[in-house]
Amino acid sequence: MIPLIETVIRVFDRHGERSKRHKARLKYLVNGIGFEAFMNLVEGEKKAIKCKSFIVDREAVETTIPGPERAYPTTAPSDPQKYENWLKTNVFEQKQKGFYGVNVKQFLGDMPTDTAREFAAIVQKYASDDIRITVNQGWLLKFVRKEALTGLFNELDKLGLADPGFDSTVDITACPGTDTCNLAISSSTGISGELERMMKEEFPDLIFNKNIKIKISGCMNACGQHTIANIGFHGMSIKNGNYVLPAMQLLLGGGIEPDGSGSIADKIVKLPTKKCPDAVRLILADYDEFAFEGEYFNDYYRRQIAADKTYFYKKLKPLAELSTLTELDYIDWGHTEKYVTEVGVGECAGVMLDLVGTLINETEDKLKWAKRAYDKGAFADSIYQSYTTFICGAKALLTSENINCNTHIGIIKDFDTHFIAKGALQVNGASFESLVLKMSEQEPTQEFAKVYLEEVVDFLAKVRAYRAQKLLVNG
Ligand code: SF4
């Protein structure tokens, strides 16, 4: 996996979108060129990476298994009914006889540090001394002895960490949304809290339901996994006359099927975010009334849309009605102020610097890293830093000529067209492309790293001279 990931990152670096931030995602590249072409590029990059295979030492981290001598408190559960539910939904017997895995449900995975310290102390007392983070923003404790379960429950409960319903419908996954991400359009965490509250109150049995998962993202980028949820939402806004209100796109039918295959959810309808609890109520009630005994949610969803493609749209459309909105519909969940759309630079999107001078300064940093890696004997890293220095230098000159720079490969080709072919600048080799991309065809040896580094130093000197000359002529 690790060498493969490295080659994929290199391919995305070179071919991925850099300018339009909403498209700076691997999925757009794969969609644009096709999976086969993408994998050919990955294959072509394999030679240039240092580690062709990487063996993970599974023994490197020791698993401590609590011995029988540990004395656990023998008190009764502090809340017997909750304890029963917790045992049913959060605890499972491990393959290793006599030991139990315990899942901890944590609202959106947010744990304050003081709670984390107390939690760590509890884990050391009752379980193996390591914690796994689960994909649905919870925790997994391992090797808990049967006689330790009550004490563990009581102590977790005191910290608010013994809620039953791990990985159930009431265990929502969401990205940070407007809390911290500048790309978010509406609050994914605010609505998650409201939905969990509503379901616990109105549908308490949902803590046992692992058939329906709800996942929410603050925008369409899907960090909250909304496309692989039975019920998914992603943030958006709706214009109503001169006003804008926070909204959610509702999706249905995604997730892991009982046979282990995966489904991508379908978009159904856009709703004011304040109407989303009603939408969930309606969907749950409909499922309750019309699903066959034990029918998986996605099977029920597909059965309904096979009979009438607009089945869910028609049911939910009245909630999208804008003529009946009140003032409260313009205030997002978890907020008190009126909603305004403000999308900035996201925490997970590529940032592009446009100023030529800044780019030329950046090449200095990159070159320094390339030299430092070379001196340390990290030749593959040095080669890659030299490569990014080439790209950055070429981008600086292209930007100075107002030529758009979206991808590394585009920069390489445009540089050949606008500088090399016109004789404005000469480089070693037939073309800038052949000079820069030969690093993919070479083993990352010291000899090659040295030559490549010398070539980029030479190239940068030419870039600076060209820029200085231009500034002299044009000011
Ligand atoms: S970019 Fe990702 S983290 Fe940010 S709001 Fe969108 S989905 Fe959430």
Query: pLDDT confidence of 50, banded at 50, 70, 90?
Result: confident
Task: Give the residue whose CA is nearest to atom 6 of ligand 1.
Answer: 219
Both 193 and 260 in one domain: the answer is: yes
Q: Which of 188, 220, 332 to mutate to test the pocket of ligand 1 (most atoms within 8 A of CB)?
A: 188
Identify which has the larger pLDDT, 342 or 20: 20
Q: Which of 21, 27, 175, 186 to mutate to test the pocket of ligand 1 (most atoms within 8 A of CB)?
A: 175
Is pLDDT of 184 > 90? no
pTM above 0.85, yes or no: no
- Note down the domain range covering 439: 353-474
Both 183 and 321 in one domain: the answer is: yes
Q: How many domains does the chain have?
A: 4
Identify which has the larger pLDDT, 241 or 389: 389
The per-residue pLDDT for range 363-396, each reduced to its tens digit, is 998 999 999 999 999 999 999 999 999 999 999 9
Is 356 near ligand 1, meaning CB less than 6 Å away?
A: no
**Per-range mean pLDDT, top range of 53-62, 341-350, 378-387:** 378-387
Half-sphere exposure of 466 (CA within 13 A, CB side): 22
Both 197 and 309 in one domain: the answer is: yes
The per-residue pLDDT for range 64-97, each reduced to its tens digit, is 888 877 888 888 999 999 999 999 999 999 999 9
Query: pLDDT confidence of 63, banded at 50, 70, 90?
Result: confident
Both 376 and 306 in one domain: the answer is: no
User: Quick one: average pLDDT of 419-441?
Assistant: 91
Is 348 near ligand 1, meaning CB less than 6 Å away?
A: yes
In-domain check, residue 451 = yes
In-domain check, residue 344 = no
Confidence (pLDDT) at 179: 85
Is pLDDT of 325 > 50? yes
In-domain check, residue 72 = no
In-domain check, residue 305 = yes
Is pLDDT of 270 > 60? yes
Confidence (pLDDT) at 339: 73
Confidence (pLDDT) at 19: 73
Confidence (pLDDT) at 471: 80
Confidence (pLDDT) at 89: 98
Both 190 and 305 in one domain: the answer is: yes
